Chain A
Amino acid sequence: MARNTARPLSPHLTIWRWGPHMLVSILHRGTGMALSIGGLFLLTWFLLALSGSAQSWETFTGFLGWKLGPVPLILLGLVALTWSFFQHALSGVRHLVMDVGAGFELRTNKTMAYMTMIGSVLLTALFWAVLLGKGA
């Protein structure tokens, strides 16, 4: 199945003016990939470590607390992952709304796009405030 490489390509990211709807679409894919790789990796390790010995749980929590100098890099990664979850969930809801044919009007669409981003940041902040407030 030879492909004709001389075929014209449709314009891509580089030529469009950035807008919230475009950003949300890209974020949906990016956060989806982050959750697929980082999220599922951690979920699997979490369950394996918990099902294993005390030593295996130590290794897991040791990894979560790993620091690069003074920077708790993995913990920051966890914050990024929870933000990814909220962003992906909210933009996912936006997609479900658009799947039924609603929300394509320019202003509505723009507002919904902004709301997913504001919502994801607020929910992430709320989640970590409560979690760290517990002293876990």
Chain B
Amino acid sequence: MTGPKQMGKHDRSAVADGKTALGRVRGLGSAGHGGEHWIKERVSSAALLLLGTWFLVSLLLLPDLQPATLKAWLASPLGFVPMALFTYLSFEHSLEGVKVIVDDYQGDEGGRMTWHFVSLFLHVGAGALALYALARIAFGA
């Protein structure tokens, strides 16, 4: 019998060899990456939950949204560091998410490759541009 074992209410991820479903796929896959994409997406999501909330709440707490106020905020350590992390992780998480969408809806292998390629270039390009702009705000131009 090769199918999954009967699963009870609280052991949906348990399998017959005593490992969790995640433990089983770690290190597998053609590039040996197993579930890393899956983990990366979730770790960045947890971080973005904090950083995204920080970003929106900060906008509400600033005295006004004039460019001088915004610049001073993003040039301060407690503005720059979370904003750099927020920007970087937003692009990373988006790249991971778009990968899943492309894999799910683009059945054709050539099309998948093309979209992954386009998405990677756009994310890295725009992400670098955004981080450059943030650095310029913080370190002066």
* Residues of A participating in the B interface, judged by any CB pair closer than 8 Å: 1, 3, 29, 32-33, 35-36, 39-41, 43-44, 47-48, 50-52, 54, 57, 82, 85, 89, 92-93, 95-96, 99, 101, 104, 127, 130-131, 134, 136
Instruction: State which size class the interface on B falls in.
Output: 35 or more
Beta-carbon contact of B49 and A36 below 8 Å? no
Beta-carbon contact of A50 and B42 below 8 Å? no
CB neighbors of A among B84-103 (8 A): 87, 90-91, 94, 97-98, 101
Beta-carbon contact of A44 and B12 below 8 Å? no
Beta-carbon contact of A136 and B65 below 8 Å? yes
Beta-carbon contact of B45 and A48 below 8 Å? no
Beta-carbon contact of A101 and B94 below 8 Å? no
CB neighbors of A among B114-141 (8 A): 123, 126-127, 129-130, 132-134, 136-137, 141
- In the assembled complex, which residues on chain B have CB atoms less than 8 Å from the CB atom of A92? 45, 49
Decide: A93 near B134, CB < 8 A? Known: A39-B90, A134-B64. no
* Residues of B participating in the A interface, judged by any CB pair closer than 8 Å: 10-13, 42, 45-46, 48-49, 52-53, 56, 59-60, 64-65, 67, 70-71, 74, 87, 90-91, 94, 97-98, 101, 107-109, 123, 126-127, 129-130, 132-134, 136-137, 141
Determine which residue in A44, A89, A101 has the highest number of CB atoms from chain B within 10 A of its CB, and name it.
Answer: A44
Beta-carbon contact of A50 and B87 below 8 Å? no
Beta-carbon contact of A44 and B129 below 8 Å? yes
Which A residue sits closest to B74, measured CB to CB?
Answer: A50
Beta-carbon contact of B42 and A96 below 8 Å? yes
Decide: A43 near B52, CB < 8 A? Known: A36-B97, A50-B133. no
7 contacts between A and B (CB under 8 A): A33-B98, A47-B87, A54-B67, A89-B48, A89-B52, A93-B49, A134-B60
Beta-carbon contact of B91 and A3 below 8 Å? no
Beta-carbon contact of A33 and B101 below 8 Å? yes
Cα A89 to Cα B90 in complex, Å, equals: 12
Decide: A48 near B133, CB < 8 A? Known: A3-B108, A39-B90, A54-B67. yes
Beta-carbon contact of A51 and B136 below 8 Å? yes
Beta-carbon contact of A50 and B67 below 8 Å? yes
Cα A42 to Cα B91 in complex, Å, equals: 12
- In the assembled complex, which residues on chain B have CB atoms less than 8 Å from the CB atom of A131? 59-60
